[in-house]
């Protein structure tokens, strides 16, 4: 049996849970050995499952109580699978663009990051030179009037600023922050 990448993605949550039959498992393992992309998706999905845990993973995003969720699951056997499918698709999409770290910050934490002061900086060009100040938590474009502590500024690449935990200034970086 030969499976395509799409088939691997569709079955990946069942695969992780040991719910695929032996011939499909063998076919998926053959495919995974030769396909870096699917291996990355598998690792990403495994991380998601471990990070969020089976129950919380469905409870938190859907906002259901545990009991209600159980009942829904009994009544709609396909529900759980399609939600996991969505998680896999999301993991796959960001894995194409970058590492799983990016996936966690841009997809899974986005609702918490909507505040003005903590927008994800993923759209800022990584090679762009930005200004950070000694005591600030944000990075700025040169000449931004909101740079604090002008005596202790330094110029670094946006990539480095993000890596060190600085967030983009919501004023001067605005054009990179709108979705």
Q: Please give the residue ranges that form the binding site for Zn ion (CB under 5 A).
A: 5, 35, 38, 140, 144, 146, 169, 171-172
Cα–Cα distance for residue pair 79/101, rounded to 1 Å:
27
For Zn ion, the closer CB: 57 or 140: 140
> At closest approach, how far in Å is the CB of 156 from Zn ion?
15
Cβ closer to Zn ion: 72 or 144?
144
Which among 133, 157, 159 has a CA at the least distance from the CA of 144?
A: 133
* Bridge partners, residue 168, by sequence: 139
Identify which of residues 72 and 129 has a Cβ nearer to Zn ion in the complex.
129
Q: Are residues 166 and 136 in contact, defined by beta-carbon separation less than 8 angstroms?
A: yes
Q: How far apart are CA 133 and CA 162, in angstroms?
A: 14
Minimum Å distance from CB 100 to Zn ion?
A: 17
Min dist. Cβ of residue 152 to Zn ion (A): 16
């Amino acid at each position: 049996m030969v499976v395509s990448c799409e088939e691997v993605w569709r079955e990946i949550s069942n695969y992780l849970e040991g719910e695929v039959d032996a011939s499909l498992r063998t076919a998926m393992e053959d495919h995974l050995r030769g396909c870096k992309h699917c291996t990355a998706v598998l690792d990403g999905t495994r991380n998601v499952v471990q990070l969020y845990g089976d129950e919380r993973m469905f409870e938190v995003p859907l906002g259901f109580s545990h009991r209600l969720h159980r009942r829904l699951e009994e009544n709609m056997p396909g529900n759980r699978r399609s939600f996991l499918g969505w998680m896999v698709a999301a993991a796959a999409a960001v894995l194409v663009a970058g590492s799983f770290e990016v996936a966690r910050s841009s997809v899974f934490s986005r609702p918490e990051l909507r505040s003005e002061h903590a927008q994800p900086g993923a759209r800022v060009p990584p090679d762009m030179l930005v200004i950070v100040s000694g005591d600030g938590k944000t990075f700025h474009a040169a000449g931004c009037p909101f740079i604090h502590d002008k005596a202790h500024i330094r110029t670094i690449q946006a990539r480095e600023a993000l890596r060190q935990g600085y967030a983009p200034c919501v004023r001067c970086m605005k054009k990179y922050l709108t979705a």
